[in-house]
Amino acid sequence: MPTRFGITALFTVLILSAFCSAQVSSTQIDEVFASLKSSNAPGAAVLVIRHEHVVFRRGYGVTDLRTRHPIEPNTNFRLASFTKQFTATCIMLLVHDGKVRYDDRLTDIFPEFPAYGKAITIRNLLNHTSGLPDYEDLLMAKYPNTPEGNIPQILDAGVLQLLEQQSSGKFPPGSEWQYSNSGYAVLAMVIEKVSGKPFGQFLQDRIFAPLKMNNTFAYQKGKNEVPHRAYGHTKDKDGWRETDQSPTSAVLGDGGIYSSIDDLAKWDRALRNHTLLTDAEMQPALTPVQPAAHPAKLPNGKPVSYGFGWFLDPYQGHKRMSHNGETIGFLTTIQRFPDDNLTVIVLANRTDKDPEQQALKLADLYLKK
């Protein structure tokens, strides 16, 4: 008959064997990003966190074609719409402070806003049911037949001003779902008005500094510099072209944060450990919106679930919270599977690849185990 020691030893061996069999080799991950290995082309930074441990962190390609500096774990990329989860967290922290409520109206914060803002709540802005017109469309209409390079960069305050010049929204607030960069630019201005601090400073004081995300910034040209910066690139018939800034690249609330996979590992840990907000305080962000008139759908008709700064659509039966970012020269993604203790982040400074699909290929390697 096996002794207690023998049973314990056997159990330990079985556990270790199961753990080892569930490992994914760096070679398997490298194969997914093989096309990005280069000393003279832009690439990506990749992070995998499994069971609270960083199990893979690596850069591929270069930060720019001038220095050809290799992409490293501390390389900062423009997050684009990945930023929205940080903007949403700022609002949630102000709710925690008792300085704003989700059901406050836009005109409660900005009394001068036109009458159509009386029905728009903070919650509508967070979950893309505000019906605000797209500020990029409004900006292009303001400068018709103007080359993009000649259009001045717009700031969050400029977005608010454009919206204040409109007489109505695209649909009654809460009735439909439509992804809105305008809403998140307005949220940045709400944060400034309510907190009395510039949006970038509030981010620094309440998120980046407490989490020791020391190399993460809301980039403002002429006001701060991004260390270890990757520059965006676009591929055309003549090769790679640096395409780092556009007329909308200075808007912060919807996409202006620069960060690295090293700092985003700290962000992921804070989400997992409820460092900034309690589990209960996070629930509104993880509750899909249910529009009154029509189910939430993407432009292609695909159903979508969205909370505050997070897409909440499951992946192959696994609970998921995710967000992509796309802007001139950059594509980014965060894919979190909280029940599986798995996070995959891919930040790219090129636009010819699909970071979400690459990230999901990595997720498959772990989830199928």
Give me the DSSP letters along 300-349. TS-B--B-SS-B---BTTB--EEEEEEETTEEEEEEEEGGGTEEEEEEES
pTM of the model: 0.92
Q: Which helix (H) or strand (E) holds 55?
A: strand 53-60
Task: Classify residue 360: in a domain, yes or no.
Answer: yes
Task: Classify residue 13: in a domain, yes or no.
Answer: no
The answer to whether 107 touches 117, Cβ cutoff 8 Å, is yes
The dihedrals phi and psi of 131, each to the nearest 5 degrees, come to 80, 10
Per residue in 299-322, pLDDT tens? 999 999 999 999 999 999 999 999
Per the structure, the complete domain to which residue 95 belongs is given by 25-367
Per residue in 162-207, pLDDT tens? 999 999 999 999 999 999 999 999 999 999 999 999 999 999 999 9
**For the chain, what is the radius of gyration of the CA atoms?**
22
Per residue in 94-109, pLDDT tens? 999 999 999 999 999 9
Query: Please, what is the Cα angle at 161 between 160 and 162, to 5 degrees?
Result: 90
Task: Classify residue 12: in a domain, yes or no.
Answer: no
Task: Classify residue 14: in a domain, yes or no.
Answer: no
The answer to whether 185 touches 125, Cβ cutoff 8 Å, is no
Task: Classify residue 3: in a domain, yes or no.
Answer: no
DSSP 273: H
Structure tokens at 149: 């390079």
Q: What is the pLDDT of residue 223?
A: 83
CA 193 – CA 105 distance, rounded (Å): 14
- Residue at 303: amino acid letter: P
Task: Classify residue 340: in a domain, yes or no.
Answer: yes
Task: Classify residue 10: in a domain, yes or no.
Answer: no
Domain count across the chain? 1
CATH number at residue 29: 3.40.710.10
Per residue in 314-359, pLDDT tens? 999 999 999 999 999 999 999 999 999 999 999 999 999 999 999 9
Structure tokens at 251: 């808007």
Task: Classify residue 18: in a domain, yes or no.
Answer: no
